[in-house]
């Protein structure tokens, strides 16, 4: 069975947690596409060459979850040649047999506009900044909450206003706003959407 779940949204909205939960619940393969861009960003050198030569081992680096890696990812993601080099990898992953969940910023709009389920996970910049600050506030030189908020807003502006594949919900995406929503509630909403479409797909197949 080929079944794609596309999950998009800004940084620290909760799409990673939701995508993992959906993949575990339904036994789908999962790809955090942001890691592709983070890996390209932290590899340094020519980002186009880095994207073209990216391998699975590059996605296992221990420094891909830092704020610096996130900013680097956002910078290289605006380069059309970088995006082109990574698109085919993502599309092949998405349409593999057995189902797949991909989370990123342009999955439902550019990478997999044919995805069976499209979700857009968001939250206020303040809430997302606080979540990210809690993640990185583990050392004496950790950034302040104000710094993290400024970086979140800067990245939002860059991601939403870039010419190539800007961050925006697909027209047929289900919006999940986690500003005041608990993670269990958000996961339930996502899983319910997937389950409903799986049942519909099964019924269509039975009638064919």
pLDDT digits (tens, 9 = 90+) for 77-100: 889 999 899 998 899 889 999 999
Work out the pLDDT band at 137, boundaries 50, 70, 90. Answer: confident
**In this structure, is residue 208 part of a structural domain?**
no
Burial of 79 (0-12, 13-18, 19+ CB in 10 A): middle
Neighbours of 155 (CB within 10 A): 22
Q: Could you tell me which residues are annotated as the binding site?
A: 9-17
Q: Put residue 51 in one of left, alpha, beta given phi > 0 → left and psi -120 to 50 → alpha.
A: alpha
pTM attached to this predicted model: 0.85
**In this structure, is residue 200 part of a structural domain?**
no
**In this structure, is residue 205 part of a structural domain?**
no
What confidence tens digit (pLDDT) does each residue in 35-89 have?
A: 999 999 999 999 999 999 998 889 889 999 888 898 899 899 889 999 899 998 8
The whole-angstrom separation of Cα 123 and Cα 177 is 5
Q: Which two tokens stand for residue 59?
A: 């996605």
**In this structure, is residue 137 part of a structural domain?**
yes
Nearest by Cα to 77 from 9, 168, 13, 165: 165
Q: How many domains does the chain have?
A: 1
**In this structure, is residue 112 part of a structural domain?**
yes
**In this structure, is residue 199 part of a structural domain?**
no
**What pLDDT was estimated at residue 154?**
93
**What pLDDT was estimated at residue 36?**
93
**In this structure, is residue 84 part of a structural domain?**
yes
**DSSP state for residue 111 in the 8-state scheme:** I
CATH of the domain at 110: 3.40.50.300
The whole domain housing 76 covers: 4-185
Question: Which comes out higher in pLDDT, residue 147 or 164?
Answer: 147
Say which residues have a Cβ less than 8 Å from residue 99's Cβ, sequence separation at least 6: 1, 2, 3, 4, 5, 26, 27, 28, 29
- Indicate whether 118 pLDDT > 90: yes
Burial of 121 (0-12, 13-18, 19+ CB in 10 A): buried
Q: Could you tell me which residues are annotated as the binding site for ATP?
A: 9-17
CB environment 176-187: b (16+ within 10 A), e (fewer) = bbbeebeeeebb
**What pLDDT was estimated at residue 70?**
87
**What pLDDT was estimated at residue 150?**
96
Work out the pLDDT band at 103, boundaries 50, 70, 90. Answer: very high
The whole-angstrom separation of Cα 93 and Cα 116 is 15
**In this structure, is residue 197 part of a structural domain?**
no
């Amino acid at each position: 069975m080929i079944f794609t779940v596309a999950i998009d949204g800004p940084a620290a909205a909760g799409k990673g947690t939701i995508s993992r939960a959906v993949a575990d619940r339904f036994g789908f393969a999962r790809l955090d596409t942001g890691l592709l861009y983070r890996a390209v960003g932290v590899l340094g050198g020519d980002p186009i060459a880095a994207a073209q030569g990216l391998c699975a081992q590059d996605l296992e680096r221990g420094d891909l979850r830092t704020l610096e890696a996130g900013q680097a990812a956002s910078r290289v993601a605006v380069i059309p040649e970088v995006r082109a080099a990574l698109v085919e990898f993502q599309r092949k992953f998405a349409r593999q047999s057995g189902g797949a969940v991909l989370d990123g910023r342009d999955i439902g709009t550019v990478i997999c506009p044919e995805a069976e389920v499209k979700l857009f996970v968001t939250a206020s910049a303040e809430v997302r900044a606080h979540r990210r600050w809690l993640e990185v506030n583990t050392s004496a030189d950790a950034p302040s909450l104000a710094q993290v908020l400024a970086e979140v807003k800067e990245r939002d502006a860059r991601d939403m206003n870039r010419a190539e594949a800007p961050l925006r919900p697909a027209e047929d995406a289900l919006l999940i706003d986690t500003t005041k929503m608990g993670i269990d509630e958000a996961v339930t909403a996502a899983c319910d959407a997937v389950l409903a479409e799986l049942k519909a797909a099964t019924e269509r197949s039975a009638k064919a």
